[in-house]
Amino acid sequence: MSRLRIVYIVSLVILGVLLALVVFRPMLSGEKFSTVSRQSIIKTEDEWIIQFDIFNREGEDVTYTINWSTGGEVYSQRVLIRNGKEFNCIRHFYPDTVKDGQVHLTIYKEGEDSPFEECTYYISFDEEETKD
């Protein structure tokens, strides 16, 4: 058997092992974490709607604190999400509630000082933007 052929076969075996590790390693590790998914922002005639899901994969029930801040005002919501379950959060924003064109979202897990999710939405209620 030629040396090139041996190198080729060994390369394929190594590639197969690496692919198997990439696919099966996350399932075997059993890491516990929470995720935010399916984020969407919808504009209607007189409001903006922001929605997302929080999925709890912590291995236990967890209480989350969801903070929305806009124009210096903070709105807070605490929610208990059972292990393996998800929570759908929907929030409506009207022109009189958005002072500076920004809505800042932070999500904390109970007992943690830093948020595991944080983002800022820039929204506008200008009539000019809705015209074609």
pLDDT value of position 130: 39
Mean pLDDT of 61-69: 93
**In the predicted model, is pLDDT for residue 27 greater than 60?**
no
Question: In terms of Cα–Cα distance, which of 120, 1, 24, 8 is closest to 70?
Answer: 120
Number of folded domains in the chain?
A: 2
Tell me what the pLDDT averaged over the chain comes to: 83
Same domain flag for 3 and 45? no
The larger pLDDT score, comparing residue 38 to residue 63, is at 63
Q: Are residues 117 and 52 in the same domain?
A: yes
pLDDT of residue 34: 75
> With 80 as the cut, is the pLDDT of residue 116 above it?
yes
The pLDDT of residue 129 is 47
Both 18 and 47 in a single domain? Answer: no
Geometric angle at alpha carbon 119, from 29 and 117, rounded to 5°? 25
Model confidence over 66-78: pLDDT tens digits?
999 987 788 999 9
**pTM score of the predicted model:** 0.67
| Same domain as 97, residue 39 | yes
Q: Are residues 25 and 58 in the same domain?
A: no
Mind spelling out the 3-state secondary structure of the chain? CCHHHHHHHHHHHHHHHHHHHHHHHHHHHCCCEEEEEEEEEEECCCCEEEEEEEEEECCCCEEEEEEEEECCEEEEEEEEECCCCEEEEEEEECCCCCCCCEEEEEEEECCCCCCCEEEEEECCCCHHHHCC
Q: 64 and 111: one domain?
A: yes
The mean pLDDT value for 33-41 works out to 79
Considering the domain architecture, whether residues 25 and 43 belong to the same structural domain is answered as no
Which whole number is the average pLDDT over 10-30? 75
Q: Are 53 and 118 found together in one domain?
A: yes
Pair 23, 62 in one domain: no
pLDDT at 51 over 50: yes
Domain CATH code at residue 79? 2.60.40.10
Range of the domain at 7: 1-30
Length of the chain: 132
C-alpha to C-alpha distance for 93 and 42, rounded to whole angstroms: 10
Position 80 scores a pLDDT of: 95
HSE (side-chain half, CA atoms, 13 Å) at 63: 6
